[in-house]
């Protein structure tokens, strides 16, 4: 059976996710999120949505964190 890269669980319904050419095996979305979801460059929280990308490719969870890190012209609402 496939083994989860995050927790080591053997699970017959494991999924594989390929990111940047690397394939990972997980038994749940929870493990996938812990292992490969981006983290906010300002506060460190897990980014589950689209997030915001700064000019230096840093990812932020919200406009507030981006502004706090010096990114200008960002807003959470249009």
Buried b (16+ CB within 10 A) or exposed e, 56-74: eebbbbbeebbbeeebeee
Residue with tokens 């990114």: 71
Average pLDDT over residues 68-77: 89
- Give per-residue pLDDT as tens, 16-72: 999 999 999 999 999 999 999 999 999 999 999 989 999 889 999 999 999 999 999
The reported pLDDT for the residue numbered 78 is: 63
* Overall pTM surpassing 0.85 (yes/no): no
């Amino acid at each position: 059976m496939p083994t989860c890269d995050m927790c080591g669980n053997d699970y017959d319904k494991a999924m594989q996710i390929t990111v940047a050419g690397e394939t990972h095996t997980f038994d749940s979305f929870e493990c996938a999120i812990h292992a490969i979801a981006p983290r906010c460059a300002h506060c460190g929280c897990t980014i589950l949505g689209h997030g915001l990308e700064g000019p230096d490719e840093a990812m932020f969870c919200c406009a507030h964190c981006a502004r706090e890190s010096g990114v200008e012209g960002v807003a959470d609402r249009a």
